[in-house]
Amino acid sequence: MERAPFCLANGSTPLSLSDDFILPAHVRPVLSSVSTSITVPVIDLNDKQPSLIKNISEACEEYGFFHIINHGVPEELCRRMMAAISDFFKLPPQERSHLFTEDKTKPLRVSNYYLKVEGQYKVTMWSETLAHPWYAFDDFAHLLPRNPPHYRELASEYAKEIGWLMRRLLSLMSQGLGLKKDRLRERLGHKPRLVSQANYYPPCPQPELTLGLPAHTDLNALTVLMQSEDVTGLQVMIKDGEWISIDPVPNAFVVNIGDQIQVLSNGRYKSVHHRAVTNKDLERVSIAMFYGPNKDTVVGPIEELVDEEHPPMYRSYRYEEFLEEFHRQEGTRRRVKEAFELPN
Ligand SMILES: O=C(O)CCC(=O)C(=O)O
Ligand SMILES: [Fe+2]
């Protein structure tokens, strides 16, 4: 059966490649120059501790991105979660449009990203996102969309699993930095800001003219991302400015460091630029689970990681300040943590 053409929640006609979505030549993704020879590590969480910690630590220092397998989150739950998100974006646009808002303070929202070109005109990204809080150990189902029918239940179950996984990853990362197990989690505060962002990228007739998400670093501390198993789209910038593709690995999550861990680790673990490109034939879905401090948490390089040889690279700030700077740079290729760098 032919599927109804995709219509954005705030669009009145089926999505088509109009000028609103076409990037000017100098900011288009050059898909032919994306390297296929370099990949980020795939780390098996069943590995024994000392080498597991070492592998994670090296991946955080070198790439800021890695895959994890044998992560303990049931495959069936992951599959159902992806299906539910895909179904959400197939709801009639009128149903999604109730949730559409540009107000970032709304806990539950559907929105589009855009890129401001030459600091002024906006090019809309070829995607739509659904964002809402997630709490691993408190009930948050009432904040979620009622449709698709099992979404509330599923998202609650998934959040619990991701909550445990995040704890484990933060503990391994702390140890990788030579710190006590709980140090990173402690410094991120006991009431973390937890946001889930599901991204839907419909097929795009000319992927070389558009982007699904602009190049950005994640502003939070840690991201665990699940992506469609059969479609590529996520790309990461490595040291020399080259883009590489993070192709899906079966039953794996992508883990990436956000800005706050780069700051807490005094620059050792990297929060790197990444973007999503579009695909000509296939729709793609990703679900990013963000873990970050709350707005009152003070973030700065962890004391044990600062000494004469490693002077502090960033000044301390309340996370609210960081968020303000983040919003000030909306629509640009943000350089938020750079605003908190100390001269060396
Ligand atoms: O779709 C993707 O793979 C990237 C998503 C992402 O970077 C984000 O939501 O922050
Ligand atoms: Fe991201």
Q: How far is the CA of 50 from the centre of ligand 1 (A)?
A: 30
State CA 199 to chain mean position distance: 9
For residue 139, count CB atoms less than 10 angstroms from its CB and return exposed for 0-12, middle for 13-18, buried for 19 or more.
Answer: exposed
pLDDT in tens, 236-258: 999 888 999 999 999 999 999 99
Distance 72 CA to ligand 2 centre (A): 23
Burial of 210 (0-12, 13-18, 19+ CB in 10 A): buried
* pLDDT at position 316: 98
Q: What is the pLDDT of residue 4?
A: 75
Ligand nearest to the CA of 129: 1
28-340 CATH pick, 3.30.310.220, 2.60.120.330, 3.40.50.300, 3.40.50.620: 2.60.120.330
- Indicate yes or no: pTM above 0.95: yes
The number of the ligand 1 atom at minimal distance from the alpha carbon of 199 is 1
Task: Please give the distance, rounded to the nearest whole angstrom, from the Cα atom of residue 273 to the centre of ligand 1.
Answer: 11
Structure tokens at 246: 């993070």
What is the block-wise mean pLDDT of the chain (344 residues), using blocks of 10 residues?
81 92 94 91 97 98 98 98 97 95 92 85 95 86 94 96 97 98 97 97 97 96 97 94 95 98 98 97 97 97 97 97 92 88 89
ipTM: 0.99
The domains of the chain are located at 28-340
Q: How far apart are CA 189 and CA 62, in angstroms?
A: 26
Question: Which residue matches tokens 């009145």?
Answer: 12
